[in-house]
Amino acid sequence: MDSNSKVFVAGHKGLVGSAIIRNLEKKNYNNIYWISRDNCDLRNKARVDAYFEQAKPEYVFLAAAKVGGILANRDHPAEFIYDNLMIQTNIIDAAYRNGVKKLVFLGSSCIYPKMAKQPITEDELLAGHLETSNDAYAIAKIAGMRMCRAYRQQYGFNAVSLMPTNLYGPNDNFDHNSSHVLPALISKFHGSLEKSKHWVVKLWGDGSPKREFLHVDDLAEACYTCMEKYEDEEHINVGTGKDVTIKELAKTIVDVVGYKNDYEWDTSKPNGTPRKVLNVDKIKSLGWEPKISLREGIESTYEWFKENVNV
Q: What is the model's pLDDT at position 74?
A: 87
Q: What is the model's pLDDT at position 133?
A: 87
Average pLDDT for 231-259: 98
Torsion of CA 238, 244, 245, 251, to 10 degrees: -120
Q: SS3 letters for 64-108?
A: CCCCCCHHHHHHCHHHHHHHHHHHHHHHHHHHHHCCCCEEEEECC
Q: What is the model's pLDDT at position 310?
A: 82
Q: What is the model's pLDDT at position 270?
A: 86
For residue 31, what pLDDT band results from cuts at 50, 70 and 90? very high
72, pLDDT greater than 90: no
280, pLDDT greater than 90: yes
Q: What is the model's pLDDT at position 195?
A: 92
73, pLDDT greater than 90: no
Q: Is 259 a catalytic residue?
A: no
Average pLDDT for 126-137: 93
Question: Looking at this protein, which amino acid is placed at residue 30?
Answer: N
pTM over 0.85: yes
For residue 124, what pLDDT band results from cuts at 50, 70 and 90? very high
Q: How far is the C-alpha of 186 from the C-alpha of 208, rounded, in Å?
A: 18
Calculate the average pLDDT of the chain.
95
Q: What is the model's pLDDT at position 304?
A: 97
Average pLDDT for 84-100: 98
Q: What is the model's pLDDT at position 179?
A: 84
Count of alpha carbons within 13 angstroms of residue 86, beta-carbon side: 15
For residue 114, what pLDDT band results from cuts at 50, 70 and 90? very high
Residues sharing a CB contact under 8 Å with residue 7, sequence separation 6 or more, in sequence order: 1, 24, 29, 31, 32, 33, 57, 58, 59, 60, 61
Q: What is the model's pLDDT at position 39?
A: 87
Residue 119: cis peptide before it, omega within 30 degrees of 0? yes
311, pLDDT greater than 80: no
160, pLDDT greater than 90: yes
Residues sharing a CB contact under 8 Å with residue 296, sequence separation 6 or more, in sequence order: none
Q: What is the model's pLDDT at position 177?
A: 74
Q: What is the model's pLDDT at position 283?
A: 98
Q: What is the model's pLDDT at position 251?
A: 98
168, pLDDT greater than 90: yes
The closest alpha carbon to 106, from 167, 42, 158, 163, belongs to 163
51, 112, 137, 259: the active-site residue: 137
Kindly report, residue by residue over 183-195, the tens digit of the pLDDT.
Answer: 999 999 999 998 9
Average pLDDT for 96-124: 96
Q: What is the model's pLDDT at position 309?
A: 87
Average pLDDT for 238-256: 98
